[in-house]
């Protein structure tokens, strides 16, 4: 017979054994889950950085194949000079490392310190807030991905992978990124004069002159031309608008925000089209197919913004259609700030280029290379005219000087004759 004390001992032993078994299962289950999550994260990061790396000069480029084993070599020998100023900080912080795309990765703590705990906000976009930060290499802009945006995370990956291989003087340079503590951030070069939209529509900002606007149009065209015809494979921006054109301290324009198009277009139905209303190609809205010629359409709208300072969401297309009814119709919608301060023939020429970009048929729209060349010709004619006027002015000055010298000589000769 088994007495009561033996039954208690057996029960306690069985309970302990069962508890140990359950604890072991929970322990190994958690460990398996963490290992799986870590492997998934590594796979995601590899997918970000195994695209072809494109390190470019102003107009040329060299392709490198990226791998985890050669990442440090690329950082040391092939990374563009613009990012080298951040190397010292990177070298002295064990929490930061360089990805295979050559773009520096920072910790959340680094960004928090550089932004003084995210105090100075520069703006708010569809991607999330943009903060001013001071790093050892200088002032930068930090874009913080909205934490509740699943779509934004995908766009974040697009941005890093694209800008990791795209470098051009008319594209905003990506200097680093952060994936830490559930946060995703992008570190860009700081563009001190803000967005083109802010300069055109904020009355408190300085007024852009015509020469500056023409140069901005040329800069934008060069940036898009690199994306469409210089990058391998070609890149379609998909969200070109004046708010995504940033200007540096010299008023030179750069195209920004790749892969960050998350604003919904509303055309009377819940269409779910990507882009920004007012800039979207009507062909894309009907076919749902976005092509390079859709970017051309958006650029045409931006050129008319430069001419009129009328926002696309303030019936700009109606003004454009009215102006198209006569050869000098654009004179009537010209920005009042430019009245009497610009060459009206140049305005008409730029408007004619913009009209071609807005053609209803994508096939009849020009390529970005053709647009760029057409704008450049306007600039070149202006320079030739200025040189001619300057040359004529110098000739007139020389002639006047010679006449004056001759007059002095005649006066001297007359004086000598009278004295003799």
Q: How far apart are CA 300 and CA 317, in angstroms?
A: 11
Among 58, 265, 67, 237, which residue's Cα sits nearest to residue 162? 237
Type and span of the H or E element at 390:
helix 368-419
Among 73, 231, 244, which residue's Cα sits nearest to residue 163? 231
Q: How far apart are CA 53 and CA 75, in angstroms?
A: 11
Ramachandran category for residue 298: left, alpha or beta (phi over 0 → left; psi -120 to 50 → alpha):
alpha
Long-range contacts of 232-235 (CB under 8 A, 24+ apart): 232/52, 232/54, 232/61, 232/63, 234/292, 235/162, 235/166
Among 165, 171, 122, 161, which residue's Cα sits nearest to residue 259? 161
Q: Which of 239, 257, 281, 335 is catalytic?
A: 239
- DSSP class of residue 395 equals H
Residue with tokens 């940036």: 223
Long-range contacts of 247-251 (CB under 8 A, 24+ apart): 247/191, 247/192, 247/193, 247/194, 247/195, 247/196, 247/199, 247/216, 248/191, 248/192, 248/193, 249/192, 249/193, 251/193, 251/208, 251/212, 251/215, 251/216
Tokens coding 385: 């005219």
Q: Is 248 a catalytic residue?
A: no
Q: What are phi and psi of 64, to 5 degrees?
A: -125, 150
Among 257, 50, 56, which residue's Cα sits nearest to residue 166? 56
Q: How far apart are CA 94 and CA 260, in angstroms?
A: 30
Helix (H, G, I), strand (E, B) or coil at 104: strand
Please, what's the largest Cα pairwise distance for the chain?
Answer: 164
Helix (H, G, I), strand (E, B) or coil at 153: helix
Tokens coding 382: 């202006």
Q: How far apart are CA 260 and CA 365, in angstroms?
A: 25
Catalytic residues: 239
């Amino acid at each position: 017979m088994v007495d009561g004390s033996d039954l208690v001992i057996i029960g306690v032993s069985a309970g302990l054994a069962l508890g140990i078994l359950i604890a072991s299962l929970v322990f190994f289950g958690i460990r398996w889950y963490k290992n799986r999550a870590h492997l998934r994260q590594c796979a995601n990061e590899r997918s970000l950085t195994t695209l072809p790396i494109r390190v470019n000069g102003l107009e040329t480029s060299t392709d490198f194949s990226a791998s985890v084993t050669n990442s440090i070599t690329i950082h040391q020998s092939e990374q563009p000079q613009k990012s080298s100023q951040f190397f010292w900080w990177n070298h002295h912080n064990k929490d930061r490392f360089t990805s295979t795309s050559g773009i520096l990765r920072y910790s959340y703590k680094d960004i928090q310190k550089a932004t003084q705990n995210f105090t100075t906000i520069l703006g708010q976009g569809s991607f999330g807030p943009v903060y001013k930060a001071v790093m050892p290499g200088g002032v930068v802009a930090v874009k913080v991905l909205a934490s509740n945006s699943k779509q934004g995370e995908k766009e974040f990956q697009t941005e890093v992978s694209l800008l990791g291989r795209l470098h051009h003087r008319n594209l905003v340079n990506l200097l680093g990124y952060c994936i830490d503590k559930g946060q995703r951030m992008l570190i860009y070069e700081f563009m001190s004069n803000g967005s083109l939209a802010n300069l055109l529509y904020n009355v408190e900002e300085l007024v852009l002159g015509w020469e500056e606007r023409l140069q901005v149009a040329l800069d934008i065209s060069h940036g898009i031309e690199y994306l469409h015809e210089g990058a391998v494979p070609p890149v379609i921006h998909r969200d070109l608008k004046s708010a995504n054109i940033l200007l540096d301290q010299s008023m030179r324009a750069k195209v920004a925000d790749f892969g960050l198009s998350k604003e919904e277009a509303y055309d009377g139905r819940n269409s779910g089209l990507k882009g920004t209303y007012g800039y979207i190609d009507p062909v894309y809205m009907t076919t749902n197919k976005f092509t390079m010629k859709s970017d051309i359409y958006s650029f045409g709208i931006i050129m008319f913004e430069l001419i009129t300072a009328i926002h696309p969401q303030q019936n700009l297309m109606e003004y454009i259609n009215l102006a198209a009814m006569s050869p000098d119709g654009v004179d009537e919608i010209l920005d009042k700030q430019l009245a009497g301060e610009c060459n009206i023939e140049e305005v008409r020429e730029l408007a004619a280029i913009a009209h071609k970009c807005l053609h209803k048929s994508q096939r009849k729209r020009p390529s970005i290379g053709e647009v760029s060349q057409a704008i450049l010709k306007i600039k070149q004619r202006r320079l030739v005219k200025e040189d001619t006027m300057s040359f004529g002015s110098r000739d007139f000055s020389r002639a006047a000087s010679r006449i004056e010298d001759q007059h002095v000589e005649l006066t001297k000769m007359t004086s000598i004759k009278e004295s003799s």
